[in-house]
A = this chain, B = another copy of it.
Amino acid sequence: MTCAIVGLGLMGGSFGLAMRGYFDKIVGIDHNKAHQLDAIKLGLVDEIISIDEISKADVIILAIPIRGIISTLKKLSTLDLKEDVTIIDFGSTKESIINECPKNIRKNLVASHPMAGTEYSGPNAAIADLYKNKIMVVCNIDKSGEKQVKTAFDIFNHLEMKIKVMDAKEHDRHAAFISHMPHIVSFSIANAVLNQEDKEHIVTLAAGGFRDMSRLAKSNPDMWRDIFKENKQNLLDSIDAFKEELDKAKKLIENEKWEELRDWMAKGNELHKIM
């Protein structure tokens, strides 16, 4: 089996590293010349090809931003692909990708979202165990071919991932709460501190808690702009749900309702019982 990885950054590159030996050959596609060279140098893929040479692939991984995934799916639908090819996308939101996938290759697509990543990007950020023990969400599999679902699940199992099947709408809503809103919050903390005159002094006190809360603010702004764009309404809903709690806490502090504030925190403690 030949696997083609489109996008040789953190996600695609880590996939290549983790799947060494599983495929007869792993080829890579990336419009960035430097990424191509790095991917070969780092052994993420065996060779670099152009998108027009992708027709020999048995498995195609789309590890690029959501709009890139959609335009690549449109391009793929015009190529002479193998009949049974399995196309797996790693897009961070799922509804728009599934809705815009051309009908003639819909059965080939297994729409997936690995709940894995780091705050770093590019081929040099690739690590072999990025996916290990992480969750792979797979959406709307009733519209994917049986063979393709099996091929994809075999791959995810080889990566030692936990597979969760989910509706795309539900996934996008959950992703807003679990990932997208927390990114906005982390960037807000970072910018709030940066706005202070004595910011350098403030950060000298930073310990583990602050490092955790500001880590997501290291993330790539271009990538996250695109994700937020795709998931606008869910993101706004989750920000509102967050703000409601923040405002509740702020009012309790202003009004010195200390016991109610304590109870509000005790309620928050419960989260870790269900996680």
A174 and B202 contacting across the interface, CB-CB below 8 Å = yes
Alpha-carbon separation in the docked complex, A238 to B205 (Å): 15
Chain B contacts for A219, CB-based, 8 A: 265, 269
A199 and B265 contacting across the interface, CB-CB below 8 Å = no
B209 and A135 contacting across the interface, CB-CB below 8 Å = no
Main secondary structure of the interface of A (DSSP, over half): helix
- Interface segment out of the listed A3-11, A40-48, A69-77, A182-190: A182-190
B209 and A216 contacting across the interface, CB-CB below 8 Å = yes
Taking the closest CB of chain B, its distance from the CB of A262, in whole angstroms, is 4
A117 and B225 contacting across the interface, CB-CB below 8 Å = no
B271 and A203 contacting across the interface, CB-CB below 8 Å = yes
Residues of A participating in the B interface, judged by any CB pair closer than 8 Å: 115-118, 134-135, 137, 164, 170-171, 174-175, 177-179, 181-196, 198-219, 221-222, 224-225, 228-229, 232, 235-236, 238-239, 241-246, 248-250, 253-254, 256, 258-259, 261-272, 274-275
